[in-house]
Amino acid sequence: MNAHITTPRTVSAATIARTAVLALALINQILSAAGKPVPDAEFERLRKSVK
């Protein structure tokens, strides 16, 4: 029998940021496919907040 050793796992801020960007990209793809693109002003605000 193998004993399972559990260790606490931490999630880095970079992983959370990548996940958030991926979620935004997927939402953008869905909206674009539905014919409802994200307004340019909103995109610019998001882009500036990431820098």
Per-residue pLDDT at 19:
94
34 three-class SS: coil
The gap between the terminal CA atoms of the chain, to the nearest Å, is 51
CA distance 37 to 31: 6
| Contact of 20 with 27, CB cutoff 8 Å | no
**Domain boundaries in the chain?**
13-50
Model-level pTM greater than 0.85? no
Q: What is the pLDDT of residues 20-30, one digit of tens each?
A: 989 988 988 89
